[in-house]
Amino acid sequence: MKLIDFDLFENFNKVFVSIVEHHDLSLVISWFNENKNFLKKGNSNLEFEINYCKFLSLIEKGDINEAIKFSHINLSPYGNKENYQENDNGNHLANLKRLMGMGGLLVFRSMESNEKASEPMTFSSNLMINSPQFHEYQKLLSDERWESLSRCFIENFTKLYGISKNYPIFIYLSAGLSSLKTKSCYYNNENTIFRDENLPIPNVHNHNATVLTDEKYRGPNYYYKLLNKINNCPVCSPELYKLSRNLPYAQLITSIFNNPFILPNGNIYPFDKLLNPSDKHLSEKNTLLRMGRVKDPLTKETFSIDGCTRVFPA
């Protein structure tokens, strides 16, 4: 607890819970008054959200006259663009739209009160109460207003104290995935901790030789199996691949070959590796080189040296 501002987060939690669960405005009003100067400079819309919730609460209680007086004093000024800063046009338009809906709510709410009082209603009033618009206005009294206020409070609170709105684990994951992500990473269904053990793992070795030249089978995992290795890349796992889609690639200088050449089948190797035979395949490579051809170490295909093209790293 000594390493974090516990009191700060405790106060945040109290205000947040009072809004979402208790529908109480006293704590958020107190917090707003304490930080009013900063919030005003930052184009905060929290005061409008508080007054809007207060107005709807009065409507919900049936205090129509009190709600009208309250809106005239505390909400009407938000319809005037001159009461906003020059760069706060977004809040003005959003608030104006909500203010326009308040009048209709008052009309429909008064009709509903007459209906409960068992007073005789005109045909037009009865038609309006049963209209879809009436039910739309009723939605204004749902918990959405409290959720909107809580979101506005969170935005202002994090902005005031410079707190990131992203969870730390997302930041750490982003940094880690970016350091591992390469252009060879792909969505690998086999590399998952949630795989059903009862389902068989497909075996790429069952494919015939013609499959080797089919690009749709030439993903990184195919070559892992040709080399009898397991692809344990976390970025290739289905769970983390989705999180890494919008992240930048790692700047891995060591992944760039010296003098890379691309074969007609799309595979890239250092040209020295294609020309210099190993002891194991010395005679075979010498024979191919005398014929002006090279062999792909993985697919075992042979190509003319003239068909190899020098490539440059992206």
Give me the pLDDT at residue 213, please. 43
> Which helix H or strand E contains 171, and what residues bound it?
helix 168-180
Model pTM above 0.85: no
Residue-wise pLDDT tens digits, 41-51 = 889 999 999 99
| DSSP 8-state code for residue 103 | H
Query: At 17, which amino acid appears?
Result: V
H or E stretch at 304: strand 302-304
Largest pairwise CA distance in the chain: 106
Average pLDDT over residues 37-59: 92
Domain boundaries, the chain: 6-161, 168-253, 256-310
| Residue-wise pLDDT tens digits, 67-116 | 889 999 999 999 998 889 888 889 999 999 888 877 767 766 665 555 55
Q: Which long-range contacts (CB under 8 A, 24 or more apart) does 207-216 make?
A: 212/299, 212/300, 212/301, 213/265, 213/299, 213/301, 215/266
